[in-house]
Amino acid sequence: MICAHARFKSIAPRWPEKIAVTPTEQRINLLDLDRRDLEAFFVGLGEKPFRVTQLMKWIYHERVSDFAAMTNLSKTLRERLAECAEIRLPQVALDQPSRDGSHKWLLRLDRGNGIEMVFIPEPDRGTLCISSQIGCPLDCSFCATAQQGFNRNLTVAEIIGQVWQASRLLGDQRNGQRIITNIVLMGMGEPLLNFANVVKATDLMQDDLGFGVSKRRVTLSTAGVVPALYRLREASEVSLAVSLHAPTDELRNELVPLNRKYPIAELLTACKHYIADKPHRRITWEYVLLDGVNDSEQHARALAALIRDIPSKVNLIPFNPFLGARYRCSAPVAIARFQAVLMAHGLTTVIRKTRGDDIAAACGQLAGQVQARGRRLERVARLATG
Ligand code: SAH
């Protein structure tokens, strides 16, 4: 049979016109397609767009990855899908529950590449932290991911596949409440450097036929890729967290080298534009506290002055040390003082709790260990996935 996805030009422009049997590597992974893409794909198959509703419910609500089990699709359609498409997920290589209820997983992708994912339950919410790239090119001086360099962008399927796996492992609901209520792109990578894939994946997270997470509860964290911030406002409805970490260009250049390209003033203008005319939007500023580097009262006052006229919330993040790090975490008294200054300026300020310490549930940390332990972890991963 001629596989109809060859006609789906926008997704597979370079595929041959006629394929008798589609080899695995040429099958289209349906997790790479958002709702609009899927509709175009189904039209290409000669199917009615409403079939997409059925298919998406199977994939995202029922978490079924085998076409044969999608019993309300006709047998012919199921067979055609099995011929030219697939639902291929990242595999769970390592599952580490923490004593405090948080969870960390290592997911295996191609060629031994791994990404990490963390779930943090709190009384009023459950937050899933996912990755957008393998490694990261930004080279922030306090970040463990930076040490492993940049490998590649994640595909849409690899980004949404993290949420798929987490909701399969955790379940949908407990006592009538959703388990995953919030999703944050704060794992490995800079999401705005993987713009198109991240936007599609976040659309799928928010889509009612996808994971149906409330729009405001999907948060993208960026080090400040200014031009992409302007595009994001047009393309997406995500909440924005910005990794500021310093109130002056001089200091921020050192901590977040991207600042040399997009200095603080430009970043703040882009942030104001992102929330302009959107009454419910505010910026969450992330500020990692590094002992003796950026944690003085003067730094706090300068930060407050900087963001004074922007609807804001500040997340103070105690630095999570890792092997080879050149910083130490600020003393609790310094953190409390920093918070007090910001609060005195009327800023909502929370100190992010350190969770999952026993499983290194901080950004970039598991990835660092993967590198360091190299083959040993690969063996564990192989065992874990059979
Ligand atoms: N590239 C994006 C998202 C990934 S990092 C960004 O920069 O926002 C997610 C958050 O974790 C960022 O605020 C980052 O600065 C912070 N982070 C990275 N390494 C950390 C560490 N060792 N301790 C505490 N926070 C860290």
Q: Which domains does the chain have, with CATH numbers?
A: 14-86 (1.10.150.530), 91-384 (3.20.20.70)
Phi-psi region of 125 (alpha: psi -120 to 50; beta: other; left: phi over 0): beta
Distance 53 CA to ligand 1 centre (A): 37
Residue 47: per-residue pLDDT: 93
What span, in angstroms and rounded, lies between the C-alpha atoms of 237 and 21? 40
Mean pLDDT of 313-330: 94
User: Cβ(147) to ligand 1 under 6 A?
Assistant: no
CB-based contact 145:367 (threshold 8 Å): yes
User: Cβ(143) to ligand 1 under 6 A?
Assistant: yes
User: Cβ(327) to ligand 1 under 6 A?
Assistant: no
Dmax over Cα atoms in the chain, in whole Å? Answer: 70
User: Cβ(219) to ligand 1 under 6 A?
Assistant: no
Mean pLDDT of 251-258: 98
What span, in angstroms and rounded, lies between the C-alpha atoms of 372 and 377? 9
Q: Which of 47, 116, 158, 286 is catalytic?
A: 116
User: Cβ(242) to ligand 1 under 6 A?
Assistant: no
Confidence at 25, pLDDT banded by 50, 70, 90: low
Percent of the chain with pLDDT over 70: 85
Distance 3 CA to ligand 1 centre (A): 44
Per-residue pLDDT of 291-305, as tens digits, reads: 999 999 999 999 999
Distance 270 CA to ligand 1 centre (A): 20
Ligand 1: which residue has its CA nearest to atom 24? Answer: 319
Per-residue pLDDT of 184-227, as tens digits, reads: 999 999 999 999 999 999 999 999 999 999 999 999 999 999 99
For a mutational test of ligand 1's pocket, the pick from 238, 243, 320, i.e. the residue with the most ligand atoms closer than 8 A to its C-beta, is 243
Place of tokens 């394929």: 19
Distance 120 CA to ligand 1 centre (A): 16
For a mutational test of ligand 1's pocket, the pick from 186, 252, 289, i.e. the residue with the most ligand atoms closer than 8 A to its C-beta, is 186
Q: Is 329 known to be catalytic?
A: no
Residue 380: per-residue pLDDT: 33
User: Cβ(288) to ligand 1 under 6 A?
Assistant: yes
CB-based contact 125:182 (threshold 8 Å): yes
Residue 20: per-residue pLDDT: 42
Q: Which of 136, 143, 271, 363 is catalytic?
A: 363
- The yes-or-no verdict on residue 382 having pLDDT over 80 is no
Q: Using a cut of 0.85, tell me whether the model's pTM lies above it.
A: yes
For a mutational test of ligand 1's pocket, the pick from 185, 255, 286, i.e. the residue with the most ligand atoms closer than 8 A to its C-beta, is 286
Mean pLDDT of 220-238: 97
Q: Is 363 known to be catalytic?
A: yes
Distance 180 CA to ligand 1 centre (A): 21
Strand partners, 153: 133
For a mutational test of ligand 1's pocket, the pick from 120, 251, 293, 317, i.e. the residue with the most ligand atoms closer than 8 A to its C-beta, is 317
User: Cβ(338) to ligand 1 under 6 A?
Assistant: no
- The yes-or-no verdict on residue 381 having pLDDT over 60 is no
Confidence at 101, pLDDT banded by 50, 70, 90: confident
User: Cβ(286) to ligand 1 under 6 A?
Assistant: yes
Residue 353: per-residue pLDDT: 78
Per-residue pLDDT of 239-251, as tens digits, reads: 999 999 999 999 9
Residue 23: per-residue pLDDT: 59
Residue 354: per-residue pLDDT: 67
